[in-house]
Structure 1
C-alpha cells in the first residue's frame, strides 16, 4: 500500500520515537520436558549396553565416575532404546547419521517447544494473537527452512505477520542470547510482546563411546532434552500482565584467547563437541573481571559485592558452577537454583536458563527475606568461544522498584 501524505510528512512520521518506555521485563515463563526419563546412576550401564561397548570396562568405569561427579540425578530425553534399534547408524561411527538425527529432532522438538510456550502464554494472560515477535533458539533442532520458528508459529496459532528470528548453534548461551535479542526488540518497538523459545535435544551429541574422545563422554553424561519459554515486553502493561524480572542491561563478551576452548561443529556424526580441560580454570580466572566490567556502570558500589545479588546462572556443569562459586566467593545458597535444575534436568543447553529463572522466581516467592535483601540479580551463561552472556535483572515487586 502506498504511503499517504506528502513525502515530508511521511518522513516526519517515520522519525517519531517508536521505542517503548522503560526497560523490558520478563512477563511469564514456561518450561517442558519429554516424558521419557533416565536416572543418572543407571546411565553408564544403559549407554554401554545399547552401544555394545561393555567390553570397554575401563572406559565404562570412567563414565560412571563422570556421572557420579556430574551433580545430575536424572534427565529427560526423546531418545529411547527402541529408537536406537530402529536407527543403528546413530551409535555406529562408521555410518553417517546427520540426516537421521536432524529428522528425529525436527519431528520431536516442536511439540515440547510448543508445550513450554503455551505455558508461558497461559501465565502471561493474554491471547497468543497478541504476540508480535517470536525469537527461537536451538543448537540441536535441525538445520532446515522452514525451521522450528515457523512450525512453532503454526502450532501456537500466532498471527501470520508475527516477526520471526531464529538463532542456531549458540550452545549453552542460546537461551540467554535469545532473551537479549528479545529485550532489544521489546524496548525498540512500542507495544511489542516477544515470545522467546529455546528447545534442545541431547540426541545430536550421542554416539558410541571412544577412548580417544573424552569430551564425548562428558557430553553424553550432561546433555538432555527440554524447552523453555518466556514472554518479554516493555512499556505500559495491561491489567492481565505481571512483570517478573526487569531486564536492565545485557552484555556479551568473549574471554581472550579462548576460541578453541569450547567448540561445536555440525558433521556427519551429528554435533561434534570439543571441550578443553582448562575451561573451569579459565572461567575461574576471568569471570569476576568480566562481570565487574558489565555491571559496574549500573550497580555503583555493588560490583564485587556478589553475595548481595541473586544469581540465575546457567548450569553448564557442576565444575562451572563450582568455578563461579570459587571465583566470586559466593555463598552456597546463591547457586542453589542452578544446582537444583542441573540435578533434576541435566544441561538442556539454551533451554536450561528458563528453568533456572523459573526456579529462582519460585524460591523468591517462598522466601520473603530473600526478596527484601536481594532485589538485583544476574543472569549468566557461557557458550562457545568462551562467550559470556550477562544480563542485569531487577526483581519486580521489590521495595526499591521505581
Structure 2
C-alpha cells in the first residue's frame, strides 16, 4: 500500500502592491473629498478622519478618477469602465506577487500544476486566471479555477481549495493568487450610506500569492506552514451582515453596523467546532496557546476577535500591522498576515517588536466574509522557508 501523503504545506509566499498611488491616511481624507468633488460635506469628512490607519496603496490615481466622471456620479452607469480597468490591473498585480512566490519556492513556473485565483474585482471569462497563467508562462495544461465575489474570506477559501487539491493529487503544486483593486467600489461619499464611507476609509489594493503542495521535495522546497485542516461555518442569523452586489454603478459593499457585535457573539462557537476535534480548543488560559492569523477587516473587527477569544495584547499584532500599513485588501490581506507572521517567527529577539506575541507552533487563520461566513484553517508553523529581507515591494502600474 502506498504511503499516505502528508498534510499540504505553504511552500512560499509573495506579496505586491501597486506603486501608482500610495496615500498616507492623514492625507487620504482631503485627497478623497477633493477628487470626488465632495468638500461640501464637512460632517462626513470629519467622520472619515476619525477612521484611522497609516497608509494604503491604490491602482487608481487622481487622473483615473478625473478621466471617468461617471465614477463619482451615482446617476451614471460606470460598470463597464470599472471592469475594463480591473481586467488588466488584477492579473498584473497578481503576477507581481506570484512571481515572488515562485522565485522563493525555487522551482520553475512550469512545475505549477494547478492555479487558484481569487478577486472581487472581476466578471470576465476567460478571466484573471487565464491571463495570469499566460503572464507567468505556466503550462497550457495547468488546471485553473477562479473565485469571484467571495468577499474578504476568499483568501482562506482559495487556500482551502489548494489544500484539497494538493492532498488528493500526488505531486500537485498549487499556485494561489489573490488580487484586489478597489476601483469597482470607489464612489463619492453620501450621507445615506455611512458603511460606504467606512469602505472608502479602509479598503486598499494589493495581491498575495502562495505555493501549496504536499510531500515537499528536499532540499529545494521548504514548508513554512503545514495546512492541517480547513472548515467553513456561517454564524446563524447574519446573512445580511455583509453583502456584495455588482450593479451598473459598480460594486456595492454593504456592511452592517452590527458586524463587530455579531462576531463577538458567534466566532468562538465556530472556532470550537473547528479546533476542538484536533485537541486545540480553549483551555484554562483561553485561546492564547495558539498564534492567530486574523483577516484584518478593520480595527473594530480585530477588537471583536480579541474580546470574544480573550486574547492577550499582541496576539493580533501581525493582523494589526497589515491593516495599518496596507488597509483591508480583501482576499489578499490574509496572505500578507501569513507573511508577517513568518517574519516574526524568524526574527532575532533583539529585532522583535514589543507588541508581538511569543512563538507558538500551532495556530489558526480566520477569514470573515459575506454571510457572515467564517473560514478557519488550522496551521502548524515549521520555522522554515526563505524570507526576503527586502520585504514587500511595489509594482509600477
* TM-score, reference length from structure 1: 0.91
- 1:110 Cα deviation after fit: 1.4
Deviations 1:326-354 (A, max 9, x none): 11111121100000000000000000001
Q: How many residues align?
A: 377
Unpaired stretches in structure 1, ≥5 consecutive residues: 1-15
- 1:129 Cα deviation after fit: 0.4
Q: Classify the secondary structure of the residue corresponding to 1:33.
A: strand
Unpaired stretches in structure 2, ≥5 consecutive residues: 385-397
Deviations 1:210-259 (A, max 9, x none): 10011110110111110000000002423210000000000000000111
**Greater fraction of residues in helix:** 1
Per the alignment, residue 36 of structure 2 pairs with: 51
Per the alignment, residue 300 of structure 2 pairs with: 319
- Correspondence for 2:92 among 92, 111, 114: 111
Distance in 1 (CA, whole Å) between partners of 2:107 and 2:88 is 28
Alignment pair present for 1:376 and 2:362: yes
Q: Classify the secondary structure of the residue corresponding to 1:235.
A: coil
Alignment pair present for 1:385 and 2:371: yes
Distance in 2 (CA, whole Å) between partners of 1:212 and 1:371 is 41
Distance in 2 (CA, whole Å) between partners of 1:299 and 1:228 is 30
**Kept in 2: contact 1:110–1:152 (CA 8 A):** yes
Distance in 2 (CA, whole Å) between partners of 1:373 and 1:349 is 27
Per the alignment, residue 7 of structure 1 pairs with: none
Distance in 1 (CA, whole Å) between partners of 2:166 and 2:107 is 16
Change (3 A) 1:373 1:219: closer
Distance in 1 (CA, whole Å) between partners of 2:288 and 2:155 is 24
Per the alignment, residue 49 of structure 2 pairs with: 64
**Kept in 2: contact 1:206–1:216 (CA 8 A):** no
Q: Classify the secondary structure of the residue corresponding to 1:307.
A: coil
Distance in 2 (CA, whole Å) between partners of 1:56 and 1:282 is 31
Distance in 1 (CA, whole Å) between partners of 2:360 and 2:160 is 22
Q: Classify the secondary structure of the residue corresponding to 1:273.
A: strand
Per the alignment, residue 239 of structure 2 pairs with: 259
Distance in 2 (CA, whole Å) between partners of 1:236 and 1:84 is 46
Per the alignment, residue 16 of structure 2 pairs with: 32
Alignment pair present for 1:365 and 2:351: no
- 1:300 Cα deviation after fit: 4.9
User: Which segments of structure 1 move beyond 3 Å, counting only runs of 4 or more?
Assistant: 300-305, 367-373
Alignment of 1:99-248 (within 5 A): 99-140=80-121, 142-248=122-228
Change (3 A) 1:41 1:301: closer
**Kept in 2: contact 1:134–1:164 (CA 8 A):** yes
Change (3 A) 1:373 1:57: closer
Distance in 1 (CA, whole Å) between partners of 2:120 and 2:37 is 28
Alignment of 1:245-394 (within 5 A): 245-300=225-280, 302=282, 305-366=286-347, 373-394=359-380
Change (3 A) 1:25 1:306: same
**Kept in 1: contact 2:291–2:361 (CA 8 A):** yes
Distance in 1 (CA, whole Å) between partners of 2:280 and 2:324 is 35
* TM-score, reference length from structure 2: 0.92
**Kept in 2: contact 1:29–1:230 (CA 8 A):** yes
- 1:124 Cα deviation after fit: 0.3
Q: Classify the secondary structure of the residue corresponding to 1:333.
A: coil
Distance in 1 (CA, whole Å) between partners of 2:306 and 2:170 is 39
Change (3 A) 1:243 1:102: same
Distance in 2 (CA, whole Å) between partners of 1:269 and 1:301 is 45
Change (3 A) 1:393 1:162: same
Change (3 A) 1:45 1:21: same
- 1:208 Cα deviation after fit: 1.1
Per the alignment, residue 93 of structure 1 pairs with: 74
Change (3 A) 1:20 1:267: farther
- Correspondence for 2:26 among 32, 38, 41: 41
- 1:27 Cα deviation after fit: 0.2
Deviations 1:82-101 (A, max 9, x none): 11111111111111000111
**Kept in 1: contact 2:342–2:383 (CA 8 A):** no
**Kept in 1: contact 2:345–2:383 (CA 8 A):** no
Distance in 1 (CA, whole Å) between partners of 2:23 and 2:110 is 37
